Structure 1
Amino acid sequence: MQSLYALRRPHLPIACAPNGWGHRMNLTGKHALVTGGGGGIGAAIAIELAKAGADVTITGRSLGRLDSIARTSPRLFPVQMDVANEDSVRDGVQAAIGARGPVAICVANAGIAEGGAFARTSLATWRKTMATNLDGAFLTIQACLGSLNDGDWGRVIAISSIAGVRGLKGAVPYTVSKHGMIGLVRGLSEEYIGGNVTFNAICPGYVETDIVRNQAPVIARRMNMTEDEATAYLAKGNRHRTLLQVDEIATAALWLCDEGSRSVNGQCIQISGGQV
């Protein structure tokens, strides 16, 4: 039997790699919209899309934070928008379309995370989580898809979580909302199958962002530990026991926009240092 080593392709320099291996992605002329673009994962994705040539609308509630990110690239454009408010989403997306054209790349990233025991979770907290994480994704994706014509190229990426593929103790509303985002992507992938738009979810584990940093003192108080111990405790939620960095999520999102990923559709891509 031929060995696996013998079956490997030889290393080829980029210049002679077959089928475009190693090509630099070019998204020039594509308009992308990223919610929650004022920091963390959203900002990292927006910056990578801009580097690839896309004109990127970044949205969020804090115009100051958006302006700060937008100053890093002439291809980044801030639009103040609250994904939990339907009128704000419709108006914000329409303004972006009017300025930069149809949204070919939609990244539904905006989200909140509030922990607590289920028995003490209020209906207000439940509804706030659903309105931002799930309703916000629904409204954003629907508004962006409305700018495309039949046959247009497009990519829809929802930033879910490992909480979308398994239960997360102490965060039931968050878990449900992230499961819902995966259901949304899978349903859309079937409804639009055969066209030129793909729908996928990225499911990160614990990423070193404000959401995780803000959870550390809460966990520290609840579990009687230091904030450093709480951060290490969160990192253990990833299989390799290390907090993820935002560039890992941004790289996955950029790959989903590549022509080589055109048959990746209806998938939830887990990034957590191992199997969930």
Structure 2
Amino acid sequence: MKTKITSFLTAAVLSVLALANSSFAEAESGFYDKDHIRGFVSFGTDFRIMHDDFQSYVNHLAFVKGGHTVSTDEGDVFYSGGKMKYKTFDDYYLGLHAIFGAQYKQFQTWIDMNFMPTQISERPSNTYKAYAEDGSSMKFPLYDVKWYSYGADWMFGWKLFGENTFINLIPAVGFGFNLINIHFASNFEVTDLSGGETYNFRNRYYSAMATTVNSELEGRLEFDHLALGVYVGYRFVRYNELSVEGKELVNTEYIGDDTDNNGDTFFLGLRLTWIFHSDWQTKQENKL
């Protein structure tokens, strides 16, 4: 899957570069006038519904449970088991966006930087009890289980009803990256996939990178500089394997070169856009 996505993104980048080179070449012969380029900034928020596999991925990974090795005078003792009653994460969250782009006639391109509030499953207690093979027990610390993600997409859109119409529809597609960050429940011991070496989670976030393909359709009302839009879309996300202390996490089913660590979301949101005048428009205003 990752090979296919990488090939797709490579082809997309090469296509964009080829188009850009062609456009610059034609600009010399009057294909476009840079004085008509308009910049814009947008801020938006949306309601994101997670694909079932995405919710399963987050809950399976975030609540992974390991054991603890304690060194004693008699040797190492391994403790495991015990109950940790965390609340699992919901299948939706709020997305936040900052957009910076440019428009030439009906064509638009922009960078969409996305964020989200941290999702938190509070610890049920400060510690939990794990057990050794001989039945003895020991308490170990618990932390809030948390996750959040952020990323960016390079988008390309087209204003279907004209450059400056009051009502418009803007389909768009793009590609980018995303980073998911997870804080685990305790200092669990995990095992290295390749060498069998053991190591422990720490009280910190661990991350996995993803490639993304994003598509959306915006319905917009445009008032000269200011525009109000409602948009709907789907974002295709596939995460790499999670790296913990430089090693692959092996306590989950989400391992291996061909894994599909699904991060797909369907979204519906509201966007406010400020569109700057082009140099040509500014010159016309100065003549008045």
Greater helix fraction, Structure 1 or Structure 2: 1
Higher strand share: 2
Identify the structure with bigger relative contact order (alpha carbons < 8 Å, sequence gap 6+): 2
Same fold judged by TM-score > 0.5?
A: no
Classify the TM-score, shorter chain.
Answer: under 0.3
When the two structures are superposed, what TM-score results if normalisation uses the length of structure 1?
0.25
